[in-house]
Amino acid sequence: MYAIECKNLTHYYGKKLVYENLSFNVEEGKILGLLGKNGTGKSTTINILNGFLQPFSGVCLIYGENTQTLTPETKRRIGFLIEGHIQYSFMNIHQIEKFYSGFYPDWNSAPYWELMSKLKVTPKQKISTMSCGQRSQVALGLILAQDPDLLILDDFSMGLDPGYRRLFIDYMREYAKAEHKTVFVTSHIIQDMERLIDDVMIMDYNKILAQQPVEQFMNTFRQFNITLNSPGQEVDLDGIAVNIEKVKDKIEFYTYSTEDEVKSYLASKGIDYSSFEERKMSLEDAFIGLTRKY
């Protein structure tokens, strides 16, 4: 059973293509991370999912309903964290809790107050005067109190210091797994992300570069470093590598091939190298390897 199904999404801004025929699903109970550099269409996808954007073609379904025309019942099952932890910052934490509780019959304020009790804020302090980290806790607390089945978190790590980011991720992971929640999260900061997500979807301009369980991706996507014997040699790695970085005689390349496959490929191309090394990568390394540095 899928919580989110997007089929053949195509969208343009003016004449600029964002993506074409993008399809993906999010299984219930899974945490999917949509990772990509700025401007690759993460926000576009979030906006389509929330019905704030009508794609040129294609359709997104949440719990079987077109996201352009979500019913209040379905919206009640979706928790939405806006990029930058935007909330009604003209309210204080009591007012905002009172406001939201009116919309959700199953409102459970306990986790909200638990998080709030850890913040060093005064009861009458407006959210606008809080730090970014404190605001993220307010936004998170509200979503937890709402107790939605699907959480859509848009670039939640933006502006958070490492401590708050780690706190947020660990709390979210534990909560989602314990309560069997589905989470759709986007981020352009990859650090710590492997602690949170089950599946990864890496987006580049106009296309999806990878879409698979994060464990599988980490196990199959590899980085190799070789040193050439003659720096001037023409090297053709296009057959196996998805990304190559060459500095003088040192070559870094990223591939889905195994060590054996790479070695036999190098031999078949007659490439003469002195050292050969596979580098262990974090998700962030892999992300940069896949999407290139620039």
Q: Of these, 41, 42, 45, 50, which contacts other proteins (CB under 8 A)?
A: 50
Tokens of 202: 């890496």
Of 8, 57, 206, 229, the one binding other proteins by CB under 8 A? 57
Give the nearest distance from C-beta 91 to other proteins in angstroms: 6
Tell how strand 207-213 and strand 31-36 pair up.
unpaired
For the chain, what is the radius of gyration of the CA atoms?
22
Residue 66: CB minimum distance to other proteins, A: 14
* Binds other proteins (CB under 8 A): choice among 8, 12, 132, 272: 12
82 phi/psi in degrees, rounded to 5: -80, 145
Query: Which residues from 75-104 bind other proteins, rule CB under 8 A?
Result: 75-76, 78, 80, 82, 84, 86-91, 95, 98-104
In the complex, the smallest distance separating the C-beta of residue 88 from other proteins, rounded to whole angstroms, is: 7
Longest dimension (CA), the chain: 72
| Residue (of 186, 229, 160) closest to 45 by Cα position | 186
Q: Is 73 in the site for other proteins (CB under 8 A)?
A: yes
CA proximity to 271, closest of 289, 253, 288? 253
Q: What is the DSSP string of 7-45?
A: EEEEEEETTEEEEEEEEEEEETT-EEEEEE-TTSSHHHH
What is the three-class DSSP state of 234? coil
Q: Which is nearer to other proteins, 104 or 265 (CB)?
A: 104
Closest distance of CB 142 from other proteins, Å:
10
Which residue, 11 or 181, is less far from other proteins as judged by CB? 11
Among residues 35, 53, 116, 169, which is the contact residue for other proteins, using CB under 8 A?
Answer: 53
Nearest approach, Cβ of residue 196 and other proteins (Å): 22
Query: CA-CA distances (angstroms) from residue 166 to 145, 156, 169?
Result: 21, 11, 5
16 vs 248, which CB is nearer to other proteins?
16
Q: Which is nearer to other proteins, 206 or 233 (CB)?
A: 206
Q: Which two tokens stand for residue 7?
A: 């089929």
* 25 backbone φψ class: left, alpha, beta (φ>0; ψ -120 to 50): beta
Regarding 51 and contact with other proteins (CB under 8 A), the answer is yes
Report, in Å, the least distance between residue 53 CB and other proteins.
3
Contact with other proteins (CB under 8 A): which of 5, 7, 10, 209? 10
- Edge-first strand order for the sheet with 65-66 is 16-27, 2-13, 57-62, 65-66
Minimum distance from residue 83 beta carbon to other proteins (Å): 9
Contact 257, 222 (CB under 8 A): yes
Region from 25-33, 48-56, 190-198, 253-261 binding other proteins, contact rule CB under 8 A = 48-56
Query: CB of 226: closest distance to other proteins in angstroms?
Result: 40
Q: Which residues bind other proteins (CB under 8 A)?
A: 10, 12, 14-15, 47, 50-54, 56-57, 72-73, 75-76, 78, 80, 82, 84, 86-91, 95, 98-104
